Amino acid sequence: MASLSSGSPYRRRNDVEAGHWEDDYEDSPFHIPRTKTASVERLRRWRQAALVLDASRRFQYTLDIKKEEEKKKILEKIRAHVQAIRAAYVFSFKASAPTNARLRADLCFPLWKFIAFHPKPSGDFGIGRDELCTMMRDHDFYTLERIGGGGRGRGVNGVSDLLKTNVEKGILGDYADLLKRRNEFGSNNYPQPKGRSFWRFLWEACQDYTLIILVVAAVISLALGIRKEGIKRGWYDGAGITFAVIIIIVVTATSDYRQSLRFQNIIAEKRNIHLQVIRGGRRVEVSIFDVVVGDVVPLNIGDQVPADGILIIGHSLGIDESAMTGESKIVHKNSRLPFLLSGCKVADGCGTMLVTSVGINTEWGLLMASISEDTGEETPMQIRLNGIATFIGIVGVAGAIGVLVVLLIRFFTGHTKNPDGSIQFKRGKTIANDAANGTIKIISNSVGIVADAVDAVIKILSIMVTIVVVAVPEGLPLAVTLILAYSMRKMMADKALVRTLSACETMGSATTICSDKTGTLTLNQMTVLSTYIGGQKIDPPDSKSELPPMLSTLLIEGIAQNTNGSVFVPEGGEDLEVSGSPTEMAILIWGVKLGMNFDAVRSESTIIHVFPFNSEKKRGGTALHLPDSQVHIHWKGAAEIILALCTRYIDANDHILPMDEDKKLFFKQAIDDMAAGSLRCVAIAYRSYEIEKTPVDEEELTQWALPEDDLILLAIIGLKDPCRPGVKEVVRLCQNAGVKVRMITGDNLKTAKAIALECGILSSDENAREPYLIEGSVFRRYSEEERKAIAEDILVMGRSSPNDKLLLVQALQKRKHVVAVTGDGTNDAPALHEADVGLSMGIQGTEVAKESSDIVILDDNFASVVKVFRWGRSVYANIQKFIQFQLSVNVATIIINIVAAIFSGEVPLNTVQLLWVNLIMDTLGALALATEPPTDHLMHKPPVGHRAPLITNIMWRNLLIQTIYQASVVLVLAFRGRSLLGLQHQSAEHANKVNHTIMFNAFVLCQIFNEFNARQPDEKNIFKGITKNHWFMGIAAVEIILQFIIVEFNRKFTSTVGLNWKQWLISVAIGFMSWPLAFFGKLIPVPETPLLTETPLLKLFSRRFRRLRNYLRTICKSRSRDDL
């Protein structure tokens, strides 16, 4: 939930420095290329400019601005509560304690704190849920200190005893233990607001103004029809319209309900965070929903705190509590500030926590239960399509009014005739009922003219009921949601979890991708392949016989203690279980081969302070207190950086020797040789330190900067991480698709060069030079203009920091690139958020990185990133297919009805028939074309720009050919059908019915055949890959079967008659002609430069529409004031 972390220090706002400025966009409410950073006012503006019939349905998958404002108010209340507790705690703590920290700790500890606090047992545990919740909610440090028999320092140990857990080994973790804990303290989930039911969607579908008007017209027509023709025949027209409306409502509600279920499944997947807990002495990965009270949870940079808990031990542990407090200040936790809140993020350091409250018993659980997850989020395509819908709607209004006026004039002037040739209206002779009934039919037909092309808006034009239907294609923007919902579900199968809807579209426009190396282009399976120890190369690297005793002891001490990983030895001689990052795991496995007993080594010394590995400094360190009162400080990190800090080394005879220039050059050459072989180079070093200089107070320790000068080199390690199989072909595929692949890594520049050559990012050694190959430190020293100039050429950046990645993203965006970025670390969050599409890694990525990203790559594989590219382009292509299909129906229908109304006084297609065409066009057509899978053909085209017109010249050509053909055929049949079809010898009434049935049948079959054309707008073979899309084939078959049933068996309601086989053959032939027309039409060349874009038209019409609406609002307000 982006809104909850709005105050997070990892987020960046939309600004000029970031390469985005809204002044650069066209002055159109329907053009917002970057919706994820758009202001609320800008989002509200396009809603106000849109012409909408059913707002609840049109905006159901966009951001609910009203709900968002309510959510902020709830957040403010909860954050105020948290801040009040914190303020009260700080006040009471300072008021009761001396100012001297050491005296406060050693001499003046209040006597009452030694008084034991014995909580009331609950079930099998020594403390109950309510007491734990109260202590956590109030941050009651004094109660925590008194738990477990009193005495200083009991605190968390006392709580762990009462919860029957161990602060080092955790809970037992068997089924019975977990069940008891869930029954007693609850599970780590919270009540989810129920999603909207099918009946809710049904109710919303009923609120379409077009359908309401049609039902009213049907009821009046039904009443007058029964009065005039009797109960047996008079109810057909009204009942037919009503039945058609019911079908449309049910189909619409079903489609929307299915989309809602898909989005709910995706939201559930986003919430399902996986983390490590310690159970039975081993680290195991569990879902956040499986965390229980008593669990011991390791915390590292970027992790989310999974539940409320108490800090067991922490080293420089900084927590970002902005999700709960709204403040971006990092709160440092220690033994005097031990309370950790669920939902917060680890911003710095590391530690372990004891879980004390889960689920609804936490502040985060209460917060999440009180607000619903908003699935709404508009995408740039949705907004643009709303603009097109508004434009078509305005055009449709003019057409509908024109048809209505023409039909009314012809009717009241006596030019409207019955099928037998008699005049319907004769001045002074037509009874009121007939006139009213005729008027209702005209109004109903006028509504029907645009009901299939645009969902109509009604306006009362007279005192009684004079209706003008505004043609608005409601299904056009909603088709985007349908396509996105389908694509998101399929992308999940391709190992990509979409967190931001707009990313699906934007990936289709990406022009470059800045990719990590480790785990994305490589397998992330590290093995130690080469080592330099004691001033010489050790071969094989795990040959412990070549290591002198002191050097071996110090090296194993550094490996075991200076790590976030762990080694678990199962009982029964099973294989070791090693956990940690791939680099940590490789070094730990190598240490075990050197004879390291992990648990024994860690028990021989005490960790004083930890400097966690930092991607800026490229190193991490640990200070140890040994039993003989010595202090050792171990460092591990990038080889050349650690080497630069070393002044001495230990040789093969355990002698500590100075690092002279020759030896330093020897080690540098060793690093270069390993890097050239695509090995990651890591150095391990240490130094001793005076115990007298070591801080004692916890607050001083937190601020202590570990000494990193005068280090003694212990080892240089080369780790091999092989490239992923097939990555070179995938990179070439991106390059052929017009997407430039750039590698940004924290590794040595020579290692980066070797991997880039292996992956195909660099084509040859000739490209392995500046500016194609650059170090992060060099890039960041350039001025802003110099970075912008050089960014285009950069292919590989080595030894980069997260800020270097951010600077490169900004420079590329200023060159009008659409940038995709991969990242896994906490410090990658600004670049991920700033990029047009941020892609985080699902396996190695931190929760902070995932929250800042738009898409999570679940298998950390670059090939999956390319699949996302394919789906992004597929989404855009499928939307264009649907636009072409729908607009051809829209335009043809409006032309047919306007021309027919003007020259013949009647419309060829009645209301029920047009409603059926509308169903084919909106729901079934969108579903058929939304399910087109991505093809390799999409990756042979350049990316589509943000400003590229939605309706291309190719689409205009195809659309005009089909529209002209369909309108011409129906109009020819309308005016000359009886003679062309040989119906002159039949009665006029029957001949007209047959003619109208063939018109209706042919028009519907034209749409079904045209659906096949829309599949391949720019390819002559429209059947290519059609057998792979079972949805399309099934929907086309259903449409044909339903059309046959409507014509042959539903005659009364649709005003059709049965057709013989010759007439069916004529109808099919007319529809079939759409295929050869499309084939030969594609031979007509079209210019690449867009001839017509929607932006100028939308600006013109939306401006006029806003002025008209504001004028009407002003009149209404003035009248209401007059009434008062």
Q: Quick one: three-class SS letters along 203-265?
A: HHHCCCHHHHHHHHHHHHHHHHHHHHHCCCCCCHHHHHHHHHHHHHHHHHHHHHHHHHHHHHH
What SS3 state is found at 132?
A: helix
Q: Report DSSP letters for 31-66, one per residue.
A: --S-GGG--HHHHHHHHHHS--S-HHHHTTTS--HH
The Cα 585–Cα 579 span in angstroms is 6
Question: Residue 331 in 3-state DSSP?
Answer: strand
Token pair of 1120, please?
A: 């209401």
CB 442 within 8 A of CB 897: no
Could you give the C-alpha distances from 230 to 224, 226, 238, in angstroms and in order?
Answer: 9, 4, 13
Candidates 516, 721, 804, 922; catalytic one: 516
3-state secondary structure of 846: coil
Read off the amino acid at residue 738. G
**Rounded Cα gap, residues 467 and 206, in angstroms:** 18
What is the sign of the dihedral through the CA atoms of 450, 456, 459 and 465?
Answer: positive
Cβ distance 1105 to 394 under 8 Å? Answer: yes
What are the tokens at 1036?
A: 């086309």
CA 1080 vs CA 510, 961, 1013, 1020, 1022: distances in Å: 33, 10, 12, 8, 12
Residue at token pair 């355990």 = 654
Q: How far is Cα 717 from Cα 527, in angstroms, rounded to an integer?
A: 10
Length of the chain (residues): 1124
Strand partners, 533: 536, 715
Q: Answer for the pair 601, 595: CB distance below 8 angstroms, yes or no.
A: no
Residue 904: both structure tokens together: 């013949």
Q: Please choose, from the candidates 623, 644, 637, the residue with its C-alpha nearest in 3D space to the C-alpha of residue 709.
A: 644
Instruction: Give the dihedral of Cα atoms 872, 874, 875, 876; nearest 10 deg.
Output: 90
Catalytic residue list contains 516: yes
Name the token pair of 968.
């011409």
Is residue 912 a contact partner of residue 1050, using CB atoms and an 8 Å limit?
no
Is residue 306 within 8 Å of 293, Cβ to Cβ? no
Helix and strand numbers (H, E) in the chain are: 40, 28
Rounded Cα gap, residues 173 and 295, in angstroms: 9
Q: How are beta strands 646-650 and 711-720 bridged, if at all?
A: parallel
Place of tokens 């992790």: 303
Long-range interactions of 987-995: CB distance < 8 A, separation 24+? 988/419, 988/420, 988/421, 989/419, 989/420, 990/1057, 992/419, 993/419, 993/1055, 993/1056, 993/1057, 994/1057, 994/1059, 994/1063
* 457: nearest Cα among 1112, 1097, 999, 1053: 1112
Please give the DSSP secondary-structure letter assigned to residue 983.
-
Give the CA distances from residue 57 to residues 95, 392, 477, 483, 1052, in Å, rounded to whole numbers and listed in that order: 58, 18, 10, 16, 32
Residues forming the active site:
516
